[in-house]
Amino acid sequence: MASTYSTNLKIELIGTGEQSGTWGSTTNTNLGTALEQSIVGYGNPNFTSDANLTITLTDSNATQTARNFALNVTSSVSLTTTRNLIVPTIQKTYMVRNNTTGSQSIVVKTSAGTGVTVPNGAYTVVYTDGTNVVSQITQLPSLALATALPVTSGGTGGTTSTGSGAVVLATSPTLTSPRIPGSSTGYTTVASANSGATNYTATLPAETFTVGYRNLIAVGTKTSAYTLAVGDVGKYVQVGSGGSIVIPNATFSEGDAVSIFNNTSGNITITCSITTAYIAGTDSDKATMTLATRGVATVLFISGTVCVVTGTVT
C-alpha cells in the first residue's frame, strides 16, 4: 500500500508494511519539518510582480511556504494597489505580516472564498476554515494596552491629542484642568483659527462665563487723520497730538464697537463720513463731533450706515 498524505498539512502517511528500514527517516521529517513548520514555522511569501500571489501545498512532507504558521509577506516590486495572497483551501491558522513595499494592503484569501485585509506594516492572525479566510480574534474578555490606542485606529481613551484629527469624547466627559498653551490656570481665553473673519458664532451651555476681553487691546496712538477699520472692533484707538478720527460708511456691521481716547490737552474732531451718526441721547445726525481733552468715546454701530457715539462728545 503506497503512502498517502494528510489533507491539511501534507504529512506523509506510511502504508502498512512500507518503507522497511526508512520509515524512521520519514517519521522524523513528518515531525521535524511538516509538523514543526505548522506550529512555529516562519515563511516568506514574496510578490515577484505587481499581481496576486498564490501559495500552494503539494503531496510532500518537505519544507513548503504555505505550511508555515507565520507568513512574513514581502515583495520584490512596489505594489500599486491592493493584491491578494491566495492560500490553500484547508483548515489552518496563519499569523500574517504585510511587509510589502508600496504602502498597499493585501487580502489573505482562498481562491474561491472571502478573505481578510491586512494593512501595510500590520500584523494579524487569520484562520482558513476550509472555505474562507476569517479573522482569528473578534473578541477579548479583557485588554490592557501599554500605550493609548490612537484615535486613527478607533481609540477613544487617548491621553493626548495633537489636534491633527477628531477626538471623540463621551457624552458627559470630565476634563481635568484643561489648559490652553501659555495659560497657567486653564481655559482663560479662546483664540479663533480664523483671525481674519468679521464675526464668530459660539454656542455655549447654560453656565457662568466671562465674556469679552479682560482688558481693551490698544490699536496704537494716531497723530494724523485716522479712519476706523474693522480690525479695531473691540479695541481702543488712542489719539495723540495732531490726530483726528474718521468714522467710515458701509464698513462695520451691527454690534461692532470701537473706543476712542483723546490723549491730548485739547479737543479733537471726529468726522462722521457714515450716513447717520447720533450722539447718545439725541435725535440729530451729526456730520462732525468734538471729543473733549482726555475724553473717552465709544462708537457703537447699529448697521453699516448708522452709529451711536457715547462719552465726552458734543
pLDDT at residue number 16: 84
Q: Which position has the grid cell 507565520?
A: 70
pLDDT more than 70, % of the chain: 80
Q: Report the pLDDT averaged over residues 180-193.
A: 50
Q: Report the pLDDT averaged over residues 32-38.
A: 94
CATH architecture under which domain 217-311 falls: Sandwich (2.60)
Q: Report the pLDDT averaged over residues 159-166.
A: 58
Residues ≥6 apart with Cβ < 8 Å to 305: 249, 250, 274, 275, 276
What is the average pLDDT score of the chain? 87
Extents of the domains making up the chain = 1-138, 217-311
pLDDT at residue number 111: 97
Using CA atoms, how far residue 126 sits from 7, 94, 114, 263, in Å, is: 19, 5, 12, 79
pLDDT at residue number 161: 58
For residues 98 and 116, what is the distance between their CA atoms, to the nearest angstrom? 12
Q: Does position 191 have pLDDT exceeding 60, yes or no? A: no
pLDDT at residue number 188: 42
For residues 226 and 271, what is the distance between their CA atoms, to the nearest angstrom? 10
pLDDT at residue number 148: 74
Q: Report the pLDDT averaged over residues 10-36.
A: 92
| CA 124 remoteness from chain centre | 24
Q: Report the pLDDT averaged over residues 56-71.
A: 96
Is residue 87 within 8 Å of 133, Cβ to Cβ?
yes
Q: Which range, 78-82, 161-165, 218-222, has the best average confidence (pLDDT)?
A: 78-82
Residue bearing the bigger pLDDT, 160 or 113: 113
